[in-house]
């Protein structure tokens, strides 16, 4: 009988410790862990305001609803430079807003696609359906 109560006590104690650690540990330990271990990352989306290349690094200023972000890329600089342009909408895989980011993971890039102007000589209008315009351009 004593072994059963020891087992039940250990089980309940472990259960309580697990629940408490799940609720409170991420707040204290999360900043010290790499982003990959953070679980689900909500994307912070914004428009690329400026893009500047300085040697082996790329600087992007991204305007988001939370505020401006300066993202500095030191890895895959050439690939990101080709992929992202000023005016594109970019989604960064981050859990929280930070003004300065170094090598954030890019979740998605939506290109700024210009539709033909409705009036001859007028400025090009932005399309509301960039995926459809890209498909039409590829098919032509």
Per 3-state DSSP, what percentage of the chain is helix, strand, and coil (rounded to 5)? 35, 30, 30
Please, are residues 12 and 6 in contact by the beta-carbon 8 Å criterion?
A: no
Give the pLDDT band of residue 140 (cuts 50, 70, 90). Answer: very low
Mean pLDDT of the residues in the chain: 78
CATH architecture under which domain 43-110 falls: Beta Barrel (2.40)
User: How high is the pLDDT of residue 7?
Assistant: 87
In angstroms, rounded to a whole number, what is the distance separating the alpha carbons of residues 62 and 50? 7
Mean pLDDT of 50-69: 92
User: How high is the pLDDT of residue 139?
Assistant: 45
Q: Which two tokens stand for residue 39?
A: 């679980």
Give the pLDDT band of residue 135 (cuts 50, 70, 90). Answer: very low
User: How high is the pLDDT of residue 138?
Assistant: 45
């Amino acid at each position: 009988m004593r072994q059963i109560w020891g087992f039940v006590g250990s089980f309940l104690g472990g259960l309580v410790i697990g629940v408490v650690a799940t609720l409170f540990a991420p707040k204290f330990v999360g900043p010290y862990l790499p982003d990959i271990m953070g679980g689900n990352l909500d994307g912070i989306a914004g428009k690329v305001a400026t893009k500047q290349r300085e040697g082996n690094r790329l600087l992007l200023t991204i305007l988001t609803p939370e505020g401006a972000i300066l993202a500095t890329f030191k890895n895959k600089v050439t690939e990101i430079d080709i992929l992202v342009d000023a005016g594109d909408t970019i989604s960064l895989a981050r859990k929280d807003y930070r003004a300065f980011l170094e090598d954030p993971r890019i979740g998605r890039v939506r290109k700024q696609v210009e539709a033909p102007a409705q009036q001859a000589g007028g400025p090009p209008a932005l399309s509301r359906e960039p995926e459809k315009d890209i498909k039409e351009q590829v098919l032509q």
